[in-house]
Structure 1
Amino acid sequence: MPVSLHHIVVDAHDLPALARFWAGVLGWRILSEREREVVIGPEESAPVGMCFMPVTDEKVVKNRLHLDLTSAAEDREAEIDRILALGARRADVGQSGSESWTVLADPEGNEFCVVRPKTTLID
């Protein structure tokens, strides 16, 4: 049997704050909170969650791996506004401006994208 994805691990300075941000973005909840680990997910039995681990060094370059998020077509701009209100900021990673995605960064500078809705990803 092949391995399966368990957690997406994010290095963080303020574990609880970054976990709360991502839980708010994804509509997930805090599943466990320890001194050196905070885990979020949609529910305890979910196959994949996110785990926030402590790091002391500063982020200095663009992420080598990032998350792509999607929403319903009619909600995309509203979702971007909601995520910005939660503490994200717009990020410039060299995009031209004609992309079908919007690049944002979480409160600790980790880039992620809000892409066009899944129903139009095949177009």
Structure 2
Amino acid sequence: MALRFAEICIDAHDPEALAAWWGRVLGWPHHTDSDGDVVLTPPSGQGPLMLFLAMPDDKVVKNRLHLDFMPDDQQAEVDRLIGLGARHVDIGQGEQTWVVLADPEGNEFCVLSAD
């Protein structure tokens, strides 16, 4: 038996808005599936689907799982993401080569150094 990595599920107060934001970040299209969930579809071979699920609960603690992204130019990408609505967050990381940001609903992710 073999498993295939199919989806990353992300809880959201507003799945449509959060999927649209991540769609702008990644340049991936999104649509609503037959279950009413919002799906971000990567280009072929570039990763699993991102599935945004409606959740009324507020996020109250640091993510137990987060996404890391490797840009060509870290500072330019951080600036772009901040311009799109991401924000810097401190999760106790201290001085590191990566930058921790949060999406509009507070989900942390990292922008790694290109080096």
Answering whether residue 5 of structure 2 is matched by residue 5 of structure 1, we say yes
- Tell me the equivalent position of 1:55: 55
Answering whether residue 110 of structure 2 is matched by residue 113 of structure 1, we say yes
Q: Is the 8 A contact 1:11 1:52 kept in 2?
A: yes
CA distance in 2, matches of 1:86, 1:46: 22
Paired residue type of 1:42? P
- Tell me the equivalent position of 1:15: 15
Q: TM-score normalised to the size of structure 2?
A: 0.90
Secondary structure of the corresponding residue to residue 53 of structure 1: strand
Unpaired runs of 5+ in structure 1?
A: none
Q: TM-score normalised to the size of structure 1?
A: 0.85
Unpaired runs of 5+ in structure 2?
A: none
Count residues in correspondence. 114
1:87 equivalent among 77, 85, 88: 85
- Aligned-residue identity in percent: 48
Distance 1:47 1:62, change over 3 A: closer
Secondary structure of the corresponding residue to residue 76 of structure 2: helix
Secondary structure of the corresponding residue to residue 20 of structure 1: helix
- Tell me the equivalent position of 1:96: 94
